[in-house]
Protein backbone atom coordinates (compact mmCIF):
# COMPACT_ATOMS: atom_id res chain seq x y z
CA UNK A 1 0.00 0.00 0.00
CA UNK A 2 1.24 3.45 -0.92
CA UNK A 3 1.04 5.51 2.28
CA UNK A 4 1.44 9.27 2.58
CA UNK A 5 2.02 10.93 5.94
CA UNK A 6 0.22 14.26 6.12
CA UNK A 7 1.51 16.64 8.76
CA UNK A 8 1.79 20.31 9.70
CA UNK A 9 1.63 22.55 12.75
CA UNK A 10 -1.48 23.20 14.80
CA UNK A 11 -4.09 25.07 12.75
CA UNK A 12 -2.20 24.69 9.47
CA UNK A 13 -5.16 22.92 7.85
CA UNK A 14 -4.32 19.21 8.19
CA UNK A 15 -7.86 18.11 9.04
CA UNK A 16 -9.34 20.28 6.29
CA UNK A 17 -6.87 18.86 3.76
CA UNK A 18 -7.65 15.35 5.02
CA UNK A 19 -11.36 15.96 4.49
CA UNK A 20 -10.71 17.00 0.89
CA UNK A 21 -8.70 13.81 0.21
CA UNK A 22 -11.55 11.81 1.78
CA UNK A 23 -14.08 13.53 -0.52
CA UNK A 24 -11.92 12.42 -3.44
CA UNK A 25 -12.41 8.82 -2.30
CA UNK A 26 -9.08 8.29 -0.55
CA UNK A 27 -8.91 6.48 2.79
CA UNK A 28 -7.79 9.05 5.35
CA UNK A 29 -6.64 7.79 8.73
CA UNK A 30 -6.61 10.51 11.36
CA UNK A 31 -4.35 9.75 14.32
CA UNK A 32 -6.03 12.46 16.45
CA UNK A 33 -9.36 10.75 15.92
CA UNK A 34 -7.83 7.39 16.89
CA UNK A 35 -6.38 9.01 19.99
CA UNK A 36 -9.82 10.36 20.93
CA UNK A 37 -11.36 6.89 20.50
CA UNK A 38 -8.67 5.31 22.69
CA UNK A 39 -9.29 7.87 25.44
CA UNK A 40 -13.08 8.17 25.34
CA UNK A 41 -15.28 6.45 27.89
CA UNK A 42 -14.51 2.72 27.68
CA UNK A 43 -11.51 3.39 25.40
CA UNK A 44 -8.71 0.84 25.59
CA UNK A 45 -6.13 3.37 26.87
CA UNK A 46 -8.21 4.40 29.91
CA UNK A 47 -7.02 1.70 32.36
CA UNK A 48 -3.36 2.45 31.63
CA UNK A 49 -3.93 6.22 31.97
CA UNK A 50 -5.59 5.57 35.31
CA UNK A 51 -2.59 3.48 36.42
CA UNK A 52 -0.07 6.10 35.35
CA UNK A 53 -1.77 9.34 36.37
CA UNK A 54 -4.45 8.31 38.86
CA UNK A 55 -8.22 8.52 38.49
CA UNK A 56 -8.13 12.31 39.02
CA UNK A 57 -7.54 12.48 35.25
CA UNK A 58 -10.61 10.43 34.41
CA UNK A 59 -14.07 12.05 34.25
CA UNK A 60 -17.15 10.65 35.96
CA UNK A 61 -18.10 9.07 32.64
CA UNK A 62 -14.83 7.16 32.47
CA UNK A 63 -13.21 9.24 29.72
CA UNK A 64 -9.88 11.05 29.81
CA UNK A 65 -10.31 14.53 31.34
CA UNK A 66 -8.74 16.36 28.41
CA UNK A 67 -8.62 19.82 29.89
CA UNK A 68 -6.96 18.61 33.09
CA UNK A 69 -4.47 16.50 31.15
CA UNK A 70 -3.73 19.40 28.81
CA UNK A 71 -2.85 21.57 31.79
CA UNK A 72 -0.66 18.86 33.30
CA UNK A 73 1.33 18.09 30.19
CA UNK A 74 1.98 21.73 29.36
CA UNK A 75 3.36 22.34 32.81
CA UNK A 76 5.45 19.16 32.82
CA UNK A 77 7.34 17.80 29.81
CA UNK A 78 8.02 14.48 31.57
CA UNK A 79 4.30 13.89 31.97
CA UNK A 80 3.73 14.71 28.33
CA UNK A 81 6.33 12.10 27.39
CA UNK A 82 4.71 9.57 29.70
CA UNK A 83 1.34 10.06 28.03
CA UNK A 84 2.87 9.92 24.56
CA UNK A 85 4.79 6.73 25.34
CA UNK A 86 1.53 5.17 26.37
CA UNK A 87 -0.61 6.37 23.47
CA UNK A 88 1.76 6.29 20.48
CA UNK A 89 2.19 2.50 20.24
CA UNK A 90 -1.58 2.02 20.57
CA UNK A 91 -2.23 4.60 17.85
CA UNK A 92 0.42 3.06 15.59
CA UNK A 93 -1.14 -0.39 15.96
CA UNK A 94 -4.54 1.02 14.95
CA UNK A 95 -3.04 2.83 11.95
CA UNK A 96 -1.31 -0.35 10.74
CA UNK A 97 -4.49 -2.32 11.02
CA UNK A 98 -6.46 0.34 9.06
CA UNK A 99 -3.82 0.31 6.32
CA UNK A 100 -3.94 -3.48 6.05
CA UNK A 101 -7.73 -3.40 5.64
CA UNK A 102 -7.80 -0.50 3.18
CA UNK A 103 -9.04 -1.00 -0.37
CA UNK A 104 -8.14 2.55 -1.37
CA UNK A 105 -5.63 3.24 -4.17
CA UNK A 106 -3.42 4.94 -1.63
CA UNK A 107 -3.82 5.97 1.98
CA UNK A 108 -3.30 9.28 3.77
CA UNK A 109 -2.32 9.12 7.44
CA UNK A 110 -2.77 12.44 9.24
CA UNK A 111 -0.08 12.65 11.93
CA UNK A 112 0.31 16.02 13.67
CA UNK A 113 3.52 14.85 15.40
CA UNK A 114 5.02 12.94 12.46
CA UNK A 115 8.55 14.32 12.96
CA UNK A 116 8.35 14.61 16.73
CA UNK A 117 7.64 10.90 17.28
CA UNK A 118 9.62 9.27 14.45
CA UNK A 119 7.23 6.31 14.79
CA UNK A 120 6.05 6.63 11.22
CA UNK A 121 9.39 6.52 9.40
CA UNK A 122 8.96 2.92 8.30
CA UNK A 123 5.25 3.28 7.56
CA UNK A 124 5.03 6.24 5.18
CA UNK A 125 6.64 6.43 1.76
CA UNK A 126 6.09 10.13 1.29
CA UNK A 127 5.54 13.19 3.46
CA UNK A 128 3.05 15.93 2.67
CA UNK A 129 3.32 19.09 4.76
CA UNK A 130 0.43 21.52 5.04
CA UNK A 131 1.89 24.92 5.73
CA UNK A 132 0.61 28.39 6.44
CA UNK A 133 1.98 31.57 8.03
CA UNK A 134 2.35 31.25 11.80
CA UNK A 135 0.03 34.16 12.47
CA UNK A 136 -2.68 32.39 10.46
CA UNK A 137 -2.11 29.20 12.49
CA UNK A 138 -2.84 31.24 15.61
CA UNK A 139 -5.93 33.08 14.35
CA UNK A 140 -7.47 29.99 12.71
CA UNK A 141 -6.92 27.84 15.80
CA UNK A 142 -8.35 30.53 18.09
CA UNK A 143 -11.43 30.80 15.87
CA UNK A 144 -12.20 27.09 16.19
CA UNK A 145 -11.28 26.54 19.88
CA UNK A 146 -11.27 28.10 23.34
CA UNK A 147 -7.50 28.59 23.18
CA UNK A 148 -5.89 32.00 23.60
CA UNK A 149 -3.11 33.20 21.30
CA UNK A 150 -0.62 32.36 24.09
CA UNK A 151 -2.06 28.82 24.36
CA UNK A 152 -1.67 28.27 20.63
CA UNK A 153 1.89 29.64 20.69
CA UNK A 154 2.65 27.29 23.61
CA UNK A 155 1.49 24.31 21.55
CA UNK A 156 3.54 25.54 18.59
CA UNK A 157 6.59 25.71 20.84
CA UNK A 158 6.27 21.97 21.55
CA UNK A 159 6.20 21.18 17.82
CA UNK A 160 9.15 21.09 15.40
CA UNK A 161 9.99 24.37 13.70
CA UNK A 162 8.24 25.32 10.52
CA UNK A 163 11.50 25.41 8.52
CA UNK A 164 12.44 21.92 9.71
CA UNK A 165 9.08 20.58 8.54
CA UNK A 166 9.38 22.27 5.16
CA UNK A 167 12.89 20.88 4.64
CA UNK A 168 11.72 17.33 5.33
CA UNK A 169 8.64 17.51 3.09
CA UNK A 170 8.34 15.66 -0.21
CA UNK A 171 5.29 17.76 -1.06
CA UNK A 172 4.15 21.09 0.38
CA UNK A 173 0.69 22.63 0.25
CA UNK A 174 0.60 26.34 1.09
CA UNK A 175 -2.62 27.09 2.88
CA UNK A 176 -2.42 30.87 3.14
CA UNK A 177 -5.40 31.57 0.93
CA UNK A 178 -9.03 30.41 0.84
CA UNK A 179 -10.36 26.86 0.97
CA UNK A 180 -10.84 26.84 -2.82
CA UNK A 181 -7.12 27.38 -3.26
CA UNK A 182 -6.39 24.58 -0.79
CA UNK A 183 -8.80 22.27 -2.60
CA UNK A 184 -7.24 22.95 -6.01
CA UNK A 185 -3.79 22.01 -4.69
CA UNK A 186 -5.13 18.83 -3.08
CA UNK A 187 -6.87 17.77 -6.30
CA UNK A 188 -3.60 18.26 -8.21
CA UNK A 189 -1.70 16.21 -5.64
CA UNK A 190 -4.36 13.51 -5.69
CA UNK A 191 -3.77 12.96 -9.42
CA UNK A 192 -0.03 12.89 -8.83
CA UNK A 193 -0.39 10.36 -6.01
CA UNK A 194 -2.60 8.16 -8.20
CA UNK A 195 0.21 7.99 -10.76
CA UNK A 196 2.72 7.13 -8.01
CA UNK A 197 0.44 4.48 -6.55
CA UNK A 198 -0.04 2.55 -9.81
- List residues binding ligand ADP (CB under 6 A): 8, 10-16, 140-141, 144, 175, 178-179, 182
Looking from the CA of 73 toward its CB, the CA atoms found within 13 Å total 17
Q: Where are the beta strands (DSSP E) in 72-164?
A: 107-110, 126-131
Query: 28 — phi, psi (to 5°)?
Result: -115, 120
> Within 13 Å, how many C-alpha atoms sit on residue 185's CB side?
19
- Residue-wise over 56-95: b if at least 16 C-beta within 10 A, else e? ebbeeeebbbeeebeebbeeeeeebebbbebbbebbbebb
Residues belonging to the chain? 198
Closest distance between ligand ADP and the C-beta of residue 194, in Å? 23
Contact (Cβ atoms closer than 8 angstroms) between residue 168 and residue 129: yes
Closest approach of ligand ADP to the CB of residue 156, in Å: 11
Q: What is the H or E stretch that residue 82 is in?
A: helix 77-101
- Which residue, 53 or 115, is less far from ligand ADP as judged by CB? 115
Tell the smallest beta-carbon distance from residue 96 to ligand ADP (Å): 22
Query: Which residues line the annotated binding site for ATP?
Result: 11-16
- Name the residue nearer to ligand ADP (CB basis): 23 or 51: 23
As annotated, the binding site includes 11-16
* Shortest distance, position 61 Cβ to ligand ADP, whole Å: 25
Nearer to ligand ADP, 14 or 162 (CB): 14
Nearer to ligand ADP, 166 or 179 (CB): 179
Q: How far is the CB of 103 from ligand ADP (least distance, A)?
A: 25
Nearer to ligand ADP, 76 or 133 (CB): 133
Amino acid sequence: MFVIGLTGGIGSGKSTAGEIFAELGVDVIDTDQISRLLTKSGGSAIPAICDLFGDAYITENGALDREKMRQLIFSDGADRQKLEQLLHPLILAEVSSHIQRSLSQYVIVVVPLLFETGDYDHLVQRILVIDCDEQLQVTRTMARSQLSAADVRAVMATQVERQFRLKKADDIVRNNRDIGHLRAQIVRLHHFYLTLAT
